[in-house]
Amino acid sequence: MTNRIIVKYEQKPCYTIAFETSFDKLIEELEKIYNLSEKKICVVSDTNVYKLYGEEVVSILKSKAKVVTDFVFEAGETSKNLNTVKKLYEKLICDKFDRKDVLVALGGGVVGDLTGFAAATYLRGIDFVQVPTTLLSQVDSSIGGKTGVDFDSYKNMVGAFYQPKLVYANIKTFDTLSLRQFKSGMGEVIKHAFIKRKDQFDYLKENSVKILEEHDGDILTQMVYESCLVKKEVVERDPKEKGERALLNFGHTVGHAVEKLANFELYHGECVIIGVMAALYISYKRGNITISEFRDAYRLITEDYKFSLQIPNIDSKEVLNVTKSDKKMENGKIKFILLKSIGEAYIDTTVTDEEILESIDVIKKNDWSFLNE
């Protein structure tokens, strides 16, 4: 199996995504792009990830790089803000990092987004490398160049499009991830299959036990690789979200609203899956997907991957209102992503309030008996 993907922008190779089962090849990959003996590297990580992998990664880098420092911040979304970025700038200035030097983001999406933003802005841009350690960050946030931080209560409000120089995904890091965090990442993997790849949907169905319970290394590597391919192809064609990239928001329109209203008690992927169910329901009611496709999708989500679809005690109308205040609107209309079939998504701006309300009500009622009729 091939274990490298090259992401290209304007037909030019931009960066490699490497899939490995250890950190052993990190130096080899970095030496393809840098003369490490000239480089200062700052490993940016959070408290949880640094405890698990920080020492190993720092010592590997120290074997070749001129200087290796680290910057570790408190784990969690609440650290993804300008205050943490400020502390990182201070550290880089203190250690005299210049434009030739490199940041390495070792962690999940929070570390990747924050480090990418600091790299985009420090001295008007220095290089950074992503070493994603959650499933969500390997298949989603580390690819595509969206970086940023939250501002007050606004998620990802301040940021930049800025590409990494390398993404190095060590699938073994999933071994220490909680099942709930792993499943949250599965939300995005399932989303990628729905929007572009019926064959991946079938693969996820066939291999659910090996993926969820056994953490089979080969199957996981294949799954992460194929899922990254979907994201890569979309972002290459539409790097700045002018069109097709919106397809990646499948499940996110309603999902983001639920995430916000649940006060971020639910994980991102859990909310995305609720949003995916809403979008599937609307696609079914419109006659785009058949009842049998809808049933297959429902079973994959709730039986094979055991998502509960519980929406906390939130009024459906509130979900609708927050959905409509989301930033992804076009001329006052919600840009909703629906399916034509499993593996084929499209952008629709005609979804009505009633359709959205009905889809949320169905999920809240949690009565899926109509699927067996």
Of 97, 103, 104, 107, which lies in the binding site for ligand NAD, with binding defined by CB under 6 A? Answer: 107
Of 27, 36, 52, 123, which lies in the binding site for ligand NAD, with binding defined by CB under 6 A? Answer: 52
Q: How far apart are CA 75 and CA 313, in angstroms?
A: 28
Q: Residue 363: exposed, middle, or buried by beta-carbon count in 10 A (0-12, 13-18, 19+)?
A: buried
Among positions 27-46, residues that touch ligand NAD (CB under 6 A) are 46
Q: How far apart are CA 280 and CA 298, in angstroms?
A: 9
Q: Rule CB under 6 A: is residue 48 a binding residue for ligand NAD?
A: yes
Residues 174-213 as x/- pattern, contact with ligand NAD by CB under 6 A: --xx---x--x-----------------------------
Q: Rule CB under 6 A: is residue 108 a binding residue for ligand NAD?
A: yes
Q: Residue 244: exposed, middle, or buried by beta-carbon count in 10 A (0-12, 13-18, 19+)?
A: middle
Give min distance, CB of 142 to ligand NAD, in A: 8
Among positions 61-80, residues that touch ligand NAD (CB under 6 A) are 75-77, 80
Give the residue among 146, 97, 106, 93 at the shortest CA–CA distance from 126: 97
DSSP 173-215: GGGGS-HHHHHHHHHHHHHHHHHH-HHHHHHHHHTHHHHHTS-
Give min distance, CB of 110 to ligand NAD, in A: 4
Among positions 116-155, residues that touch ligand NAD (CB under 6 A) are 133-134, 136-137, 140-141, 144, 146
Amino acid at position 161, single letter: F
**What residues act catalytically?**
124, 146, 188, 231, 241, 245, 249, 252, 256, 268
| Alpha carbon distance, N-terminus to C-terminus of the chain | 42
Alpha-helix runs per DSSP H in 197-285: 198-206, 208-212, 217-237, 252-261, 268-285
Shortest-Cβ-distance residue relative to ligand NAD: 109
Residues near ligand NAD (CB under 6 A): 46, 48-49, 52, 75-77, 80, 107-111, 113, 133-134, 136-137, 140-141, 144, 146, 156, 173, 176-177, 181, 184, 268
